[in-house]
Amino acid sequence: ITCLVISPDDKFIFSASKDGALIKCKWEVESGKKLCVVPGGKKGTEERHMGHASHVLCMAISSDGKYLATGDRNKLIMIWDTATCKRLHIFTGHRDAVSGLSFRKGTHQLYSASHDRCVKVWNVAENAYMETLFGHQDVITGLDSLSRDCCVTAGGRDGTVRLWKIPEESQLVFCGHQGSIDCIQLINEEHMVSGADDGRLGVGVWGSPLPSLGWGAQQSLLSAPGSHSGNVKLWKCGEGFRKLERLWDIPL
């Protein structure tokens, strides 16, 4: 299993995996029942059957619960009707594996990140490509967005986190990690947290990067990154989002 999302009403879980015979499942949370399965197929047969033909690496669900997007190693993004599990459209355009997907909250605008080092913007309701964003110098390993017309990405071994301002056609670049930046998550519309294989976490405020374990708002929140140590470590964002307080570890 490579990825999963929970529907906005908390009733359903959608999961995907590397198993070509079981690409996408819909589960009912309360009962644990498997409601539908979309089988996969062989590479090059995507137009003739519904499922992916390679490993699914990421997925995202729209905030109204209407659309599900899935991205695979074979450069494809598939759009699904969450109620029926029917495939609605295939987006093509990336030149390498699709590594991250995120719907802009309150809209059907979809951001996709790829190992081809670019971010693409799509209008899912109209099955339309909008634009491509360039800047990363290595594969993009993570992507997130909230309500604003922008997204954040982790650039792996290029050592940067980037905030993409879509209307202004500009970007802010955050540096600070010494290793590959593997994950990025927005805490709210002004602050984000990143994790890297240098063992450090970074909390950032847009436009004002600070040192790792204190990159930069208003309330205490929890972060729970995993690592090669076999533990999930829980952290609390401190006052002003300028430090992280370690709470406890969960061994796995």
Q: What is the pLDDT of residue 150?
A: 94
Taking only the tens place, the pLDDT of each residue in 49-61 is 678 888 899 999 9
Q: What is the pLDDT of residue 209?
A: 47
Instruction: Look at residue 196 and tell me whether its pLDDT is greater than 90.
Output: no
Domain regions of the chain by residue span: 1-134
Instruction: Look at residue 46 and tell me whether its pLDDT is greater than 50.
Output: yes
CATH superfamily name and code, 1-134: YVTN repeat-like/Quinoprotein amine dehydrogenase (2.130.10.10)
Mean of the per-residue pLDDT values of the chain: 85
Taking only the tens place, the pLDDT of each residue in 137-150 is 999 999 999 999 99
Chain length of the chain: 252
List phi, psi (to 5°) of 240: 70, 10
List phi, psi (to 5°) of 18: -85, -5
Q: How far apart are CA 124 and CA 151, in angstroms?
A: 16
Q: How far apart are CA 180 and CA 57, in angstroms?
A: 18
Q: Provide the token pair at 21.
A: 């015979």
Torsion of CA 18, 182, 242, 236, to 10 degrees: 30
Residue 115: which H helix or E strand, with range? none
Percent pLDDT > 70 in the chain is 85
Instruction: DSSP letter for 104, please.
Output: P
Total-model pTM? 0.84
Name which residue leads in pLDDT, 40 or 141: 141
Of the listed ranges 12-26, 47-61, 205-219, the least confidently predicted one is 205-219
Instruction: Look at residue 154 and tell me whether its pLDDT is greater than 70.
Output: yes
Instruction: Look at residue 5 and tell me whether its pLDDT is greater than 60.
Output: yes
Name which residue leads in pLDDT, 110 or 160: 110
Taking only the tens place, the pLDDT of each residue in 81-118 is 999 999 999 999 999 999 999 999 999 999 999 999 99
Mean pLDDT of 121-132: 96
Are the CB atoms for 217 and 190 separated by under 8 Å?
A: yes
Taking only the tens place, the pLDDT of each residue in 164-181 is 999 998 999 988 787 889
Q: Which among 39, 36, 121 is positioned nearest to 82, based on CA atoms? A: 36
pLDDT band with cut points at 50, 70 and 90 for residue 21: very low
Q: What is the pLDDT of residue 44?
A: 66
Q: What is the pLDDT of residue 93?
A: 95
SS3 240: helix
Q: Which among 182, 161, 169 is positioned nearest to 130, based on CA atoms? A: 169
Name which residue leads in pLDDT, 238 or 63: 63
Q: What is the pLDDT of residue 24?
A: 65
